[in-house]
Amino acid sequence: MTGVLATFTSSPPDAPALTGEFDATYGQLAQIETALIAQAQCLGITPAHRLAVLTEDRGETLPLLVSLMGCASVLPLNPALPMPELADQMRAAQVDALVGFMSSVEAPLLAQCAAVPLVTLKCTDKALTLSGAALPAATERNRPRGLVLLTSGSTGTPKRVPLSPEACLHSARTIAESLALSKKDIALHALPMFHVGALVDLFLAPLSAGGAVHVAQGKDPEALQQAVRDGATWMQLVPTMLARCLADIPTQDAARMGQRLRFIRSVSADLAPERHAAAEAHFADTPLIQMYGMTETAGQITANPLPPAARKPGSVGQPRGAEIRILDPSGAPVPQGSTGEVCVRGPAVMAGYERADPAEHFFGDWLRTGDLGYLDAEGYLFLTGRLKEIINRGGEKISPVEIERAALSLAGVVEAAAFAEPHPTLGEQVGLAIVLLPECNADEAALLDELATKLAAFQCPRRLRILPALPRLGSGKIDKRALMAADTPAGATRARTGIDARIAQAWQEALNAPEPPGDDEDFFDAGGDSLIATAFITKVQNLIGAPVPPNALFDAPRFAAFVAAIAKASTAARPSQEPAHIAYLRAQTAGWSGRDIGADIPILARNTIVEATPLFLCSQGEGADFIQTLGGARPLYRMRSLHRFPGRTDTHNDDIAHRYTAVMEALQPVGPFYLVGFCEGARIMDLVARKLIARGRDVACLVSVDHWFETPTAYPVLHVWSESRRHSATRQFARPDLAFPVLHPAGAEGLRVRGKHGEALSKETWEPVLARLSQIMDGQKLAAPVAHPAHMPPDERPNACQADIALTAARRAPGGSTLAVSVMLRNCSDVIWEPSETSGLSVTLGWRNLDLSKRLTRSAPLLWSDPVAPGETILLSGEINVPKATRPFLLEALFEDQGFASYAARNGWRGWRWVLVQR
C-alpha cells in the first residue's frame, strides 16, 4: 500500500523535512510511514477500520496521522475536550480502536470509557512503533481510508467530514502553488494537531513544495519569535493570535521577525482592515495574506495573491482550489456584486457529511458553506457573515461582521463578537462582547460613544459585555451560541460580589425595591428623590471608607455608571503624599487590567459580577495567563508584593498585609478565604492569612507557588513547585513533603509543575493547579499530614547526617545518552544509617547557559539498601538521562534526610565534609 508521504519525491532523502524537538529528513519520514503501515497491517488494521487518535501537539504526531490516513479511516481527537465528550464522539463515529501515545495517562482511560481496544504508540529515536492486540473486523466494511474531521459545531452539533488522501494532497498542492512555496521555505507550525490546517496547510503543503516544517515549542508570541529565529520563513496565524502578537511583541522585535519572514497567512476568522494594516506595519511591511477555507474543503477555497499582485483588505481573495458561486436561498445565482450564500465545488470538496442528507447541504454538486458574501468585478470574495448569525432587528438585517470590524477598530479592543440578543418589541437587537488589552482602561460608556461614530443607529449595541476572554468551541472558534445563552438582557438583575454587592444592597434598601438593581437601572426612575439620594450617598461613603461627591448620583443615575463614578472619585481622593512603599505598589500596578477597588492600597478586581467564591492573588506581575485560565469562572482580586522595592523591610510587608486584610474582609464579610501567592507574594499572603485567622476568619487554603515557609501555619497549604533550582523546594530537597507534619499540621499537599519559575502562572502550568484548587473549593479538604516513622528527633539529626562524599562522572556526555554517576559515601557520624525512602543522595545534572545561569536540570536519587555503620564507606551508582543539549554541564550531589539537605560534592571534586544546612 503506497503511503501519502511516499509521494513527496522532489527532495533528496537527506533533505530536512521536519525540525524542532522531533526532527526528520524526507527519507526518515518515508521510513516512518512504511514502518507504521506495516505495523498497522500486522495488527489487522484495514482501510475500513476507523482509528481515533488522541493527539499531542508535538512533531511526531504529524507523520503519525498522515501515515495512518493512508491505510485506515482516522479521526483525530481534540485532547482539550472532556473525556465523556470524547467518548461520545468516538461512539457516534463507530470507532474501532483508539491510538494513543504510550506516555499518555488519558488514552487507556478513554479507551475503557469508549469500550474500544487501545493501540499504543512509542516514539524512540526517529521511529514510531504501534503495539497492541490484533483488532477484530471493522464495524463497517465500505468505509474509505483518509481523515474524518469534526466541524466546529458553531451552528449546532459537530458534523463528521470525511476527506480522502487525494483531496488533502490536492488542497496541499494548491496552497503551495498560491503561496509560491519552494525548497527554501520553512513553515512555522503552531496549530493544534487535530485541525485540518495542521495537517494540510502546515505539513502537506510545505512538503509538496520540497520545503520544511518547524514545529514551535508553544503557541505564545515568545514561542513564535523563537521559531522565526530558528529559521521559519512564513507563519500562519488566526486573528486572535495576531492580536496577541501586536500587543505582546515589541516593535523592534516584530521588525526583526518581519525581516526574516516572507509572508504571514491569516486564517480561520475575519480580519478587520484596520487590524490588517496594523499587523503589516508592526512586522516591517511583511505581506499579510488573508484566505478563506473550511474543513469541508480540506483547507483553502480562496486566497489573496502575493505581492506585487493586488491584496484587498477586507477580502479573502480570489478562488484558489475551488469554484465559487453566490446563490440565493433557492439555489439560483445572484447578480454580480449582490450578497448571497457562498457555494463551492472542486476536487478537494467533500462528497457529503457522514450520515446526513446531501440535499440539506448541497445545491446539486455545490456545497453550501453557510457563509454570506459577494464577488466584486475582479472576482475577489468579500464575506459579510454567517447565514445563521444574521441579526434581525425589527426587520433590519444586520451582519455581525460589520459590528465586529467596527469594534476591533477601537483602541484597546483585542477581540469582538457580535450576536443576536432578545428584545421584547424588536425581536432581536445587537449584542456585543469584547476583550480588552490588559493595559486598556476604557470604560463601557466611552467605547459605546466611539462605536456610535462608526455605525448606523440601528446597528449600535445598547451595551457592551467586556469579558476577560470569549467562550470558544473545541476548534478554537468563538462560541456565539454560548454568548447568546449566557447573555443577560439589559436592565436585568445580575449577581455581584464584594463592594459592588454591598452597594447594590444599599441601593435596594434605599428604594425599598424587591430585587437588586440591574446595571441600567436609574435611581430616580426607580422611585428615588433628593432626600433618599442623600441618605444613600451617606451609606455608600461608610461602605467604601472614602468621600463620594454629592452630585455623583445625579451625574450618573444608572447603577453601573454610579459604581464606576465613585471608584474614580475614590482614586482621585487618595492622599498625594502616600507612603513610598504604597506609591511603589501603585506605580507597579498602574498597567494592570481590572478595577482598582482599594481605598488606600491598590487591589485590582476582575469578574466581580460572577456569583462565586472569590480568589485573592498576590504576585509580582499582572498574571495575564492566570486570568485567562481562570476565565470568568469566579471573582479575582489581585495584589502585588513589594518585590524589588528598595529598602524593603518586614515592617513594610506587615503594613501592606494589614491593609490588604482590611479590604479583603470588607470584600468578603462571610465565608472561608482562598488565597494564592506567587513567590514573594506567597510571603505576603502568609501574613494576610495569619491576620485573618487572628480576627476569627477561616482560611480554607493558601496556594503557595515556589515559596517555603519559615514557621508553621494554622491553615492548609497547597504547595506548587516549579522546576526552578533557586525557588522550588523540590530542587533543594528531594522530599520537602516530609516537613509537612511540622510546617502544616492543618493540611498540606505538594504539586509539581513543569516549567521555570517565571512560567509558574502560565496557562499551561496553572490549569492542573486550578483543577486541584477547584476540587478543594468544592469541599475536598487537604488532609493533615502524618509524620513518617523514620523521622528523627531534631537534636539527633545533625550528627546523623555527617558524611564524606566523593562524586565522579564524565565531564561530557552526548545528548540523548545516559551518564553514569558514581558516589563514594562515608558515614562520619556515630549513628547507623538505616535504609528508607526518606533518606538518600540526590544527584543532579545541570546545564548552564553561556552567562552561567542554570538552564536545565535532570536528577536521579541514589538510595542504599543495607544499613551503613559509623565509619563505613559505600559506593552508590546510577544513571541520568541526558537530554539534547550542547552546553557544558555541572554535576552536584544533594545529601538529605527528612527534608533537610545541603549541597555536597561537585563533579571531579573530592573529600568534601558534609555540613548540615537546614533550608
Strand 97-101 versus strand 381-386 pairing type: unpaired
Q: For the segment 822-863, what is each residue's pLDDT rounded down to a tens digit?
A: 878 888 878 787 776 555 565 655 554 433 444 455 666 677
In this prediction, residue 886 has a pLDDT band, given cuts at 50, 70 and 90, of: very low
| Distance of alpha carbon 384 from alpha carbon 370, whole angstroms | 11
Cell matching residue 880: 541520568
**Mean of pLDDT values over 763-790:** 81
pLDDT, position 912: 30
Q: Is the confidence at residue 170, as pLDDT, over 60? A: yes
Q: What is the DSSP string of 223-236?
A: HHHHHHHTT--EEE
pLDDT at 695 over 90: yes
**What's phi and psi for 51, nearest 5 deg?**
-110, 120
Segment 785-805 shows an average pLDDT of: 58
Centre a 10 Å sphere on the Cβ of residue 248 and count the other Cβ atoms it contains: 17
Beta strands across the sheet bearing 818-827: 873-881, 818-827, 803-809, 912-913
| Dist CA 541 CA 570 (whole Å) | 10
Mean pLDDT of 761-789: 82
Alpha-carbon span 617 to 720, nearest angstrom: 14
Q: Is the pLDDT of residue 614 over 60?
A: yes
Is the alpha carbon torsion for 782, 786, 791, 797 positive or negative? positive
SS3 800: helix
Residues in the chain: 919
Rounded CA-CA distance 73/144 in Å is: 6
Q: Could you tell me which of 670, 765, 764, 685 has the C-alpha nearest to residue 720?
A: 765
- pLDDT for res 816: 72
Name the pTM for this structure.
0.54
Whole-angstrom distance, CA of residue 808 vs CA of residue 891: 9
Distances (CA, A) of 569 to 451, 597, 602: 26, 11, 14
* More confident of the two residues 707 and 609: 707
Say yes or no to pLDDT of 62 above 90.
Answer: yes
Grid cell, residue 476, equals 478554537
DSSP three-state, residue 134? coil
And the C-alpha cell for 2?
503506497
pLDDT at 300: 93
Angle formed by the axes of helices 106-114 and 83-92, to 10°?
50
pLDDT above 90 (res 74)? yes
In 3-state terms, what secondary structure has residue 538?
A: helix
Lowest mean pLDDT among 57-61, 435-439, 472-476: 472-476
Q: How confident is the model at residue 760 (pLDDT cuts 50, 70, 90)?
A: confident
The winner for highest mean pLDDT among 272-281, 471-480, 586-595 is 272-281
- The lowest-confidence range among 121-135, 288-302, 390-404, 440-454 is 390-404
Give me the mean pLDDT over the 392-397 stretch.
71
**Among candidates 810, 826, 778, which has minimal Cα distance to 882?**
810
Q: What is the mean pLDDT of residues 510-521?
A: 82
Name the helix (H) or strand (E) containing 797. Answer: helix 797-800
What proportions of the chain, in percent to the nearest 5, are helix, strand and coil?
30, 25, 45
688 vs 628, more confident = 688
**All 3 cell numbers of residue 22?**
522531533
Question: Which residue matches cell numbers 535504609?
Answer: 835
Q: What is the pLDDT of residue 28?
A: 92
Instruction: State what percent of residues in the chain have pLDDT above 70.
Output: 84
- Residue 884 is predicted with a pLDDT of 62
Residue 349 has pLDDT above 60, yes or no: yes
Q: 409-467, pLDDT tens digit by residue?
A: 888 888 899 988 876 556 678 889 998 887 788 888 888 888 888 888 778 887 788 88
Instruction: State the amino acid at position 250 in one-letter form.
Output: P
At residue 898, the pLDDT reads: 38
Comparing 808 with 437, the larger pLDDT belongs to 437
Per-position b or e across 388-406, b if 16+ CB within 10 A of its CB: ebebebeeeebbbbbbbbb
102 — pLDDT class (breaks 50, 70, 90):
confident
CB-based contacts of 908, cutoff 8 Å, min separation 6: 807, 808, 811
pLDDT above 90 (res 619)? yes
Q: Which three cell numbers stand for residue 816?
A: 540523548
Residue with cell 516513622: 789
d(CA 850, CA 335) in angstroms, rounded, equals 66
Residue 903: is its pLDDT beyond 80? no
Residue 330 backbone class (left: φ over 0; alpha: ψ -120 to 50; beta: rest): alpha
User: Given pLDDT bands bounded at 50, 70 and 90, which one contains residue 225?
Assistant: very high
- Which is higher by pLDDT, 840 or 664? 664
CA distance 249 to 236: 16
Question: In this model, does residue 914 exceed pLDDT 50?
Answer: no
All cell numbers assigned to 273: 482592515
Domains (ranges, CATH) in the chain? 18-150 (3.40.50.980), 498-572 (1.10.1200.10), 580-777 (3.40.50.1820), 797-913 (2.60.40.10)
Does residue 256 or residue 455 have the better pLDDT?
256
User: Which residues 6+ apart lie within 8 Å of 551 measured at CB?
Assistant: none
Mean pLDDT (whole number) for 367-381:
92
pLDDT of residue 379 exceeding 90: yes
- Residue predicted with more confidence, 52 or 531: 52
Is residue 477 over pLDDT 80?
A: no
Looking at the DSSP bridge assignments, the partners of residue 383 are 373
Mean pLDDT of the chain: 82
Higher pLDDT, 898 or 641: 641
**Is the confidence at residue 582, as pLDDT, over 50?**
yes
- pLDDT at position 855: 45
**Residue 913 reports pLDDT greater than 50:** no
| Amino acid found at 693 | I
Using DSSP's 3-state secondary structure scheme, residue 7 falls into helix
